[in-house]
Structure 1
């Protein structure tokens, strides 16, 4: 196998070119790195600007398609859904309370109104001057305590009842 005479010379020149490139890269390394950093920053700014314009266009298209009052429509829709949910909950609670036999709010209000009306009627019939209602209450109390004392006298005590059974 025969070597080409220029082969050695070409290999030597390539070797020297590589060493020269390495020496230049070492000497100018920081300058090249700074240039690359500046170029990267410029590219980042361009891509951010493009992304911003694309986002603005997308927002405009979104607003145009759905309307400018999209948030109002959304909140109204959510409010209606929430009202439906509250209605269902109240209905189920009312049915459960009815099954348990508890009165509804309307029934309690009607009862309160009836009691207030009856109290007013009672007050109107009992007060015919200066304190007839008070005298009626005192008489009712006396009757109750007198009846209790009479019942207590008629009932034998335990000791008496025990002696009678023997």
Structure 2
């Protein structure tokens, strides 16, 4: 092609000029057609890409939600088991503390709450039976005896509640002085 242009350029320079100009014109028109085609089809391509992106986003969101759901279920089961273990540990700790306090009270000679409650029940039972016996013996003095028995019971309950156990006082040991006898001087 270059040989043809050289031949034509030597014979007719105007013709070469027109050929280059026509050729540039065709290239320019081809570029404009390509641009117009791209603009027309570019909108379609962009809308198609937008649809694909939207569907991809939906799929990704669905997968992420499933994973998040699986993770939250896992966390719930883990927190449930941790909570149960903590609860069990607290219960064991409470039992150990109760046992230690009970042993300490017993070693100090103090009564436990259960023992005091049992004692109160026994006192109440004895009081009721005493009132009943007194009522059977003296029908006229029944009310007065019952009031006295109730007062005594109430006084005993109050006294039991106020009783505190003090440690036994230490015995003082007094060292006996042994008298040393001096031998009596011989009689003169």
TM-score by length of 2: 0.38
TM-score by length of 1: 0.41
Which structure is higher in helix share?
1
Higher relative contact order, structure no. (Cα contacts within 8 Å, ≥ 6 residues apart): 2
